[in-house]
Amino acid sequence: MEIALYIALLIIFFGSMIVIGFLCRKKATSTDGFLLGSRNVGAWLTAFAYGTSYFSAVVFVGYAGQFGHRFGIASTWIGLGNAAIGSLLAWKILGRRTRLMTRHLKTATMSDFFGKRFDSKALKIAAAIIIFVFLIPYTASLYNGLSRLFAMAFHIDFWICIVIMSVLTAIYVIAGGYMATAINDFIQGIIMVIGIVAVIVAVILTQGGWDQIFVKLADVNDPAVSSQSGVFASFFGPDVVSLFFVVILTSLGTWGLPQMVQKFYAIKDESAIVRGTIISTVFAVLVAGGCYFLGGFARVFFEAKPADGYDAVIPEMISKLSPVLIGLVIILVLSASMSTLSSLSMTSASTVTLDLIKPYSKKEMTDKKQVLWIRGLIVVFILISAVIAILQYYKNFGFIAQMMAVSWGALAGAFLAPFLYGLYSKKTTKAAVWFSYIYGVGVMLLYLAYNLWLKNYFTLPAFWASPLNLGALVMLTDLIFVPLISLFTKKPDAEKVDEMFACYERTITVAAEKVLVDDDEK
């Protein structure tokens, strides 16, 4: 009976996604329409597309369990940081300028932005390669959160979950492009909000209510973590420094991730930016804040590290809930995974097509042919990431597992500073951007080499052996290095840069119905 309920929910869910994909097919015939919805996407769709791309099954199943067990209820700060820095400030600082500059430069990808903004084809190619290489393991990690939930509900093999999710995501993305993805993200986002709130309430009730669950959490002591009693029930937690770096990496890091930044390319107008900022922030508070708040009670269920790893925490929390709620969680995790998968696959496929294949094609690529290439590469990208996820799960390839851990740090470390300064500063130089690429990717690859081989010869202190700490440090220090290097390297062509920044300086007359102005004001 329970399995029949789960299957019925999945059929309804998948069916609606595919129908929306085909309904949006007419809006996905051109490159601009397929990738950016013709830059005419409203506040709600853009905000939900941003939020659902941000928070995947990795957050709900993996990070919530891992950091909840590590920091206790203080892990809630990670979700609040995601809302304040990763959503509110990202929209405020990047949203408007990204929309204006990318339209002015006629760019549809982050790598093309770097190429045109800094007048360098080499920078564009290097960025495209970094994006493709590091998005694949990042995408493969999305599937891991599904395995335990599907095993618990359906008792089926992991590879079947991956195949079903991959095929159905590919269908609606290929059919309807960005608009289909945005509309589906909106529906999936609503499911995520309802699911998170319902699960939090239900889990707290299973432990006797709000007061009782906090009492149980306060009674947990782990001398290996802290000698302080009740530390896991404290909103400061056992390790404030490490918590800070987790907040920075998972929050500030979104500013340099191509699949996140490109959401701003498609915003319709000024009002969409204003409303989208509010919607996106509220969504992040509910979803990210809710996920980490739920994970903060991990020690109530597992005082020690779970034998099956941290991915076992959330499934154990929900295993005693009603079949309806478990079914809702399954749809929630699928929603989180499919929305992020669709965003990542479109980002990677468009980057390879427009920035690596098109410029070196012997024959001119028509708009129709570009869309065809992007659709084909979406299939390739999803297929590669699915195969990697299956191999990692069954063969336990350590190399792939570590690549997943460094992908976020490498992408954000390489792109955050040059993208931010590229929008705001006319003085940022090409050499500074090259440094950022090498610095961001290089540090994370050195970590990978250490974790796989070099740690057999020497041991780093725990702080420096953490990819989370390293990724956060790279981003923060790069914000200092890029302007510093720009002071001492060859300056960009002032005339070209002034022309690029002219898009910010145009005078625009706005009707009085949109802006409040008294009659005696000029």
Q: Looking at per-residue confidence, does 12 or 140 come out higher?
A: 12
Residue 323's domain comprises 2-18+38-220+227-397
Report residue 208 as tokens: 């006797």
Contact 146, 337 (CB under 8 A): yes
Q: Determine the average pLDDT of the residues in 196-215.
A: 90
Is 186 a domain residue?
A: yes
Predicted pLDDT of residue 522: 46
What is the residue type of 301? F
198 within some domain: yes
Task: Output the pTM of the full model.
Answer: 0.88
pLDDT given for residue 396 in this prediction: 66
Are 243 and 226 spatial neighbours (Cβ–Cβ below 8 Å)? no
What pLDDT, in 10s, does the model give residues 287-302?
999 999 999 998 888 8
Q: Which of 360-364, 375-379, 452-456 has the lowest mean pLDDT?
A: 360-364
The conformation of residue 141, written as its DSSP 8-state character, comes to G
pLDDT above 70 for 79: yes
Q: Which residues of 477-498 are buried (b: 16+ CB within 10 A; e: fewer)?
A: ebbeebeebbeeeeebeeeebe
**Of residues 295, 257, 285, 293, the one with CA closest to residue 407:** 257
Query: Is 81 a domain residue?
Result: yes
The answer, yes or no, to whether residue 517 has pLDDT greater than 70, is no
| Rounded Cα distance, 261 and 270, in Å | 17
Residue 59's pLDDT band, with cuts at 50, 70 and 90, is confident
Residue 509 has pLDDT above 50, yes or no: yes
Average pLDDT over all residues of the chain: 85
For residue 440, the model assigns a pLDDT of 95
What is the distance of C-alpha 158 from the center of its chain? 23
What mean pLDDT is predicted for residues 502-513? Answer: 73
Q: Which of 265-269, 354-358, 406-410 has the lowest mean pLDDT?
A: 265-269
Looking at residue 286, its pLDDT comes to 94
CA atoms of 196 and 140, how far apart (whole Å): 23
Q: Could you tell me which of 313, 335, 326, 504 has the C-alpha nearest to residue 423? A: 504
What percentage of the chain has pLDDT greater than the value 70? 92
Classify residue 113: in a domain, yes or no. Answer: yes
Q: Residue 510 domain-assigned?
A: no
- Tens of pLDDT, residues 129-183: 999 888 888 887 777 666 666 666 666 777 887 888 888 888 888 888 888 888 8
Determine contact, residues 296/74, Cβ cutoff 8 Å: yes
Q: Which residue has the higher pLDDT, 485 or 319?
A: 485
Number of domains in the chain: 1
Task: Identify the band that residue 513 occupies on the pLDDT scale cut at 50, 70 and 90.
Answer: low
pLDDT confidence band for 387 (50 / 70 / 90): confident
Span 11-34, average pLDDT: 83
- Residue 284 inside a domain? The answer is yes
Look at 513 and 222; give whichever has higher pLDDT: 222
Token digits of residue 491: 């300056």
Which of 297, 303, 309, 285 is CA-nearest to residue 62?
A: 309
Q: pLDDT value at position 265?
A: 86
CATH code of the domain containing 98: 1.20.1730.10
Q: Residue 422 — pLDDT band, cuts 50, 70, 90? A: very high
270-284, 302-316, 336-350: which is most confident: 270-284
Q: Which of 178-182, 228-232, 370-374, 399-403 has the highest mean pLDDT?
A: 370-374
- Average pLDDT score over residue span 92-114: 92
Indicate the SS3 state at residue 40.
Answer: coil
Q: Looking at the predicted structure, is the pLDDT value of residue 516 above 50?
A: no
For residue 380, the tally of other CB atoms under 10 A from its CB is 13
pLDDT tens string 31-49:
888 887 777 778 888 888 8
Residue 132 within a domain: yes
What confidence tier does 119 reach under pLDDT thresholds 50, 70, 90?
very high
> In the prediction, which pLDDT does 402 show?
60
Q: Which of 182-191, 260-269, 300-309, 403-412 is the least confident region?
A: 300-309
The structure tokens listed for 291 are 């996920």
According to DSSP, the residues that pair with 41 across neighbouring strands are: 267
Domain for residue 200, yes or no?
Answer: yes
pLDDT attached to residue 184: 85
Q: Residues 334-352: what's their mean pLDDT?
A: 84
The pLDDT value given to residue 376: 92
